[in-house]
Amino acid sequence: MSDGSDEKAGAAGDDRAQPLVELAEVSKFYGNIRALQDVSLQVHTGEITCVLGDNGAGKSTLIKIVSGLHQHDAGAFRIQGEDVRLGSPREALDRGIATVYQDLAVVPLMPVWRNFFLGSEPVKGRGPLRRMDVDEMRRTTHSALLRMGIDLRDVDQPIGTLSGGERQSVAIARAVHFGAKVLVLDEPTAALGVKQSGVVLKYVAAARDAGLGVVLITHNPHHAYLVGDRFVLLKRGSMAAAYEKSGLELEELVRQMAGGSELEELSHELGR
C-alpha cells in the first residue's frame, strides 16, 4: 500500500523536467519578411541553452520574443508550461525573465550601486522626508556582487570606469539579485578580449549554478561549448541543428557554425 511518497517524488521529478521557458515551432514575420520560422528551444533550471548563428540568423528576433518586446505569430511560447503572449518587457520581468543586452543600458557616470538599483530604488522616510535609502543600496550592491564572486574595489565608482567584462558581470549579478528565473544574455562576449570573455563566462556559469535557466546568444562556438548544456543553431531564421552537450564534439559545433556542408562544397570548388 502506497503512502503517497512515490507520487510526491514523481511530481517533483515532473517539476524538474518541465522547462522554465519553451519555444515550440515559433515563427515571426514582418510583412513578407520571415524573421523566424519553426524555431524550438527549451530552457531548464540550472542549465545554459546556447543560441548560435551569424548576423541575420534570427538571434535578435528570438531575444525580442522571449523578452516580451515582440509577440510571435505562430507556434507556442510557454513559461513553466503555460502558453503566453507577453505584452512588454516589464511583463517578462514580472514572470522572471531578465534580459541583458550588449549595450547594458547603464548610465556611465552614475556609481555602480546606482546602476544596480536603477528603476528599483528602495526608499526610507515618509511624506516630504521620503528619500532613497543610499546606505542600503550601497550595502546590498556590495553583498550581492560578493555572492557572485565579484569583489569590486568601490561600489561608489562610476560604472563607466569598469571594464566591459566587469559591467557584464554586474548586470548578471543584478538579475540574480532581483529574482530572475531565466537570464537571457545577448552576445555578452562579442566586444571583449580573451581574458574579459573568460571573466564573463565565469559569471554566466555562476548564474547557472545559482539555479537560473540561462539563454546565451552568441556567434562564438568556443565560448558556447565551454559553458553550454544545449545548443540551437540558427540560419536565416530557421533551425539548422539542435544538440545536447553529451555526444557533441567542439569540432562538430565549429564545423556547423562555419557552414557545415556548404563549407565542404566551397573547399572542394576552391581545391579544383
Contact at 8 Å (CB) between 235 and 53?
Answer: yes
- Whole-structure pTM value: 0.84
- pLDDT for residue 165: 87
pLDDT at 6: 55
- pLDDT recorded at residue 258: 75
Q: Which three cell numbers stand for residue 151?
A: 569583489
What is the full per-residue pLDDT of the chain (272 aa) written as tens digits?
Answer: 445 555 544 544 455 578 999 999 999 999 888 999 999 999 999 999 999 988 888 999 999 999 999 999 999 999 999 999 999 999 999 999 999 987 777 889 999 999 999 888 888 888 888 888 999 999 999 999 988 888 888 999 999 998 888 888 899 999 989 989 999 999 998 878 888 889 899 999 999 999 999 999 998 999 999 999 999 999 999 998 899 998 889 998 988 887 655 555 655 566 65
Q: Which CATH superfamily is domain 18-106+181-271 in?
A: P-loop containing nucleotide triphosphate hydrolases (3.40.50.300)
Task: Return all residues near 146 (Cβ < 8 A) that are at least 6 apart.
Answer: none
Give the pLDDT of residue 105.
74
- Encode 236-261: b = buried (16+ Cβ within 10 Å), e = exposed: ebbbbbebeeeebeeeebeebbeeee
Question: Within 13 Å of residue 14, how many CA atoms lie on the same side as its CB?
Answer: 7
Tell me which DSSP letter residue 245 carries: S
pLDDT at 95 (0 to 100):
94
Going from N- to C-terminal start, the domains of the chain cover 18-106+181-271
